[in-house]
A and B are shown apart, each in its own frame.
Chain A
Amino acid sequence: MISYLLQDPAKPVHAMAEGVDQYGQLTKLASTFSHVDNLFYFTYVVCIFFFVLITGVLFYSVVKYRRKTFDQPAVSNRTHNTPLEVVWTVVPLIIVMVMFAWGWKGSLDMTVVPADARQYKALAKQWNWTFFYPNDAVPSSGELWLEVNKPAAFTLESSDVLHAFYMPSMRVKRDVVPGRFQTVWFQPTTEGEFHLFCAEYCGKDHSQMYAKVHVVSADVYRTRPWDTWDDKNPKKGGENLYKSLCASCHTINGTKLTGPTWKDLWGKQEQVVEAGQIKTVTVDEAYVIESIRKPDQKKVVGFEKANMTAFDDKVIDEKRVKGIIEYMKSLSNAGSEKK
């Protein structure tokens, strides 16, 4: 425990790039928002100054003017000293006005998004984060890749309750409010891995609503490291897609969310409603493809009122659909038997 308190601030605490800044108070800054740190340390010094002043006077008085006999009167009964009172009103006033102006200016910097920023989207949901990259079909969940020295702007959306997008090293935080679009931006300046926390209480697993952010060089970024598709292992790729795109509505353990579970789905005889008629279909390749492209065509009985997002081939192309199907097969006894 003590070793934590005394640790060398320059040394990273973990495998993370975070670490601690040179004064050991804040996480090491990894974005351009240095005004946060500057103002923080300014206010910090002001606090220490007043704290030392107050404690000093108190200690001195207690030692010096200690009551020795029970009838000892006060040394002075003075109750006013106008110059002193003016000083201790005006000086703090000036100091706090400086802090105010400084903080206000800093916060303006944090709201004006630079024109060359990359536009990402972050979708918050109890209890995970999904990130969508600009002009890119493949999202990622629980992990995010950013390019160093390139401003990144996020549109924040929540599909249930309040959450907050918080990256301590970048000094940014923004609430994610259902029904509203919020934005946040920053420019990472250091390569490495950083924490992304959910900072607004959102229920049971609030503390585990975490994402790891990789800030990488332009060259690495260009390889689209979030796209983990591997032609040799389509099932793995399908599973990843499931996690980032489908897991919010479909489970693989038998419980139903917005949509039916995928457990034992493959090969099942499913009751669906098509054009007002109840039919029975077998869950096969054609049906799954239709479910992905035109989910409203056949509605599963019991889910008539629920809607599924349609995904066209810009988001999930043919080979990825195949991957999802591979993954779905692996979740079902019928699926594996048929093989």
Chain B
Amino acid sequence: MSHDHGIVVPAPGAGFLPHTVAHHFDSPTQEFQSAKLGFWLFLATEILLFGGLFAAYFFFHQVYPETFRLGGQQLSWKLGALNTTVLLISSWTMAMGVRSAQTSQKRKLLIYCGLTLLGAAIFMVVKIIEYKAKFDHGFLPVFGGTDYDQATHQLSWFKDYHNVMVGVQNPSLFFSIYFTMTAIHGVHVLVGAGLIIWIMVGAAKGRFHANYFLPVDLVGLYWHLVDLIWIFLFPLLYLVP
């Protein structure tokens, strides 16, 4: 039960802290690999979670093609493209952040994380602008209370207001799916931003360095997943229709 193997000595450099390997692991490598495998499995569950939403998307796209065509045209592909670019760049800054951690560059790690955070912020602001535009035009995700008469009433009002969806079956469905998917994705962006802040706090204390950078690595993976999902959402919602 000796724990002499259990301390990871910090890489040379100013102000780094040593890391203690959890008691039940034999080596830092074992700890690293376990956490990484676990995290990949978690990412798989995330993909399957969105998989359900994608299944619903394809199903309704099949059933109401016209609704999806017209609905998609109401979205601004320019804003979508802007967000795609922002996320792609932030993915790159995150990768560079991980790289900085691996090479014990504390300052760079902080800067790159900060940039990624900025990307997340821009993304969310653009998203809010988009949502707001939808709300203003009556593309509400909420169609009435429990009263279904009221719900259909709102729908007809919404149809008249725009004239674009006239005669289309169930115009609300496209927007339901749009809002559900982007909202759940948005929650992921927020969670990712929170994790990055947590990394930055740790980085400032000097917890991450060439000999121990596991959390940075994992948060990096998470951020790439958030990005990847958006890469699928963007063409499906904004372009395919």
Q: Which B residues fall within an 8 A CB radius of A?
A: 149, 153
Cα A306 to Cα B153 in complex, Å, equals 11
Minimum distance in angstroms from B63 CB to a CB of chain A: 11
A305 to B156 alpha-carbon distance, docked (Å)? 12
Residue of B nearest to A303 (CB): B149
Q: How many angstroms from the CA of A306 to the CA of B149 in the assembled complex? A: 8
Note all chain B residues with C-beta closer than 8 A to A305: 149, 153
Distance to closest chain A CB from B147 (angstroms): 10
Residues of B within 8 A of A306 (CB): 149
Map CB proximity to B onto A269-308 as digits: 1 under 8 Å, 0 otherwise. 0000000000000000000000000000000000001100
Between-chain CB contacts (< 8 Å), 3 pairs: A305-B149, A305-B153, A306-B149
Distance from A167 Cβ to chain B, minimum over Cβ atoms (Å): 31
Give the residue name and chain of the A residue nearest to B152 (CB). Answer: A305
A residues contacting the other copy or chain, number (CB 8 A) = 2
Q: In the complex, what distance in Å separates the CA atom of A247 from the CA atom of B153?
A: 25
Residues of A within 8 A of B153 (CB): 305
**Interface digits, A139-164 against B, CB 8 Å rule (1 contact, 0 not)?**
00000000000000000000000000
Bound: A8/B43 CA distance, A:
61
Select from chain B the residue with minimum beta-carbon distance to A306.
B149
Closest CB in chain B relative to A183 CB, distance in Å:
20
Report the separation of the CA atoms of residues A305 and B153 in the bound assembly, to the nearest whole angstrom.
Answer: 8
- Which A residues between 296 and 333 are near B, CB-CB below 8 angstroms? 305-306
List the B residue with the shortest CB-CB distance to A304.
Answer: B149
Chain B residue with Cβ nearest A305: B149
User: Please, what's the 1-or-0 string for A94-138, where 1 marks a CB less than 8 Å from any CB in chain B?
Assistant: 000000000000000000000000000000000000000000000
Interface string of A165-193 (1 = CB under 8 A from B): 00000000000000000000000000000
3 smallest A-B Cβ distances: which pairs? Answer: A305-B149, A305-B153, A306-B149
Minimal Cβ-Cβ distance residue in B for A258: B149
Closest chain-B Cβ to A206's Cβ sits at a distance in Å of 22
A305 to B149, CA, bound (A): 7
B149 contacts which chain A residues (CB < 8 A)? Answer: 305-306
Give Cα A305–Cα B157 distance, bound, in whole angstroms.
Answer: 13
Q: Nearest Cβ distance between residue B39 and chain A, in whole angstroms? A: 38
**Considering the chains assembled together, what is the distance between the CA atoms of A198 and B153 in angstroms?**
33
Rounded to whole Å, the gap between the CB of B67 and the closest CB of chain A is 15
Minimum C-beta distance from B236 to chain A (A): 25
Complex formed: what's the CA distance from A261 to B149 in Å? 19
How far apart sit A141 and B149, CA to CA, in the bound complex (Å)?
27
Complex CA gap A306/B148 in Å reads 11
* Nearest neighbor of B149 in chain A, beta-carbon distance: A305
Distance between Cα atoms of A100 and B153 in the complex (Å): 50
CB nearest to B153 among chain A residues: A305
In the complex, what distance in Å separates the CA atom of A225 from the CA atom of B158?
A: 50
Give 1 or 0 for each of A219-252: 1 = CB within 8 Å of chain B CB. 0000000000000000000000000000000000
What is the minimal beta-carbon distance from A90 to any residue of chain B, in angstroms? 35
In whole Å, how far is B157's beta carbon from the nearest beta carbon of chain A? 12
Q: How far is the CB of A126 from chain B (nearest CB, A)?
A: 15
Q: How far is the CB of A48 from chain B (nearest CB, A)?
A: 41
- Nearest opposing residue in chain A for B150, CB measure: A305
Complex Cα–Cα for A183 and B154 (A): 34
CA of A294 to CA of B155 in the docked complex: distance in angstroms?
A: 26
A125 to chain B, nearest CB (A): 16
Cα–Cα distance between A176 and B149 once the two chains are bound (Å)? 23
Nearest-Cβ distance from residue B91 to partner chain A, whole angstroms: 42
Complexed CA–CA distance, A306 and B152 (Å): 11
A191 to B210 Cα, complex, angstroms: 86
A305 to B154 CA separation, bound complex (whole angstroms):
12
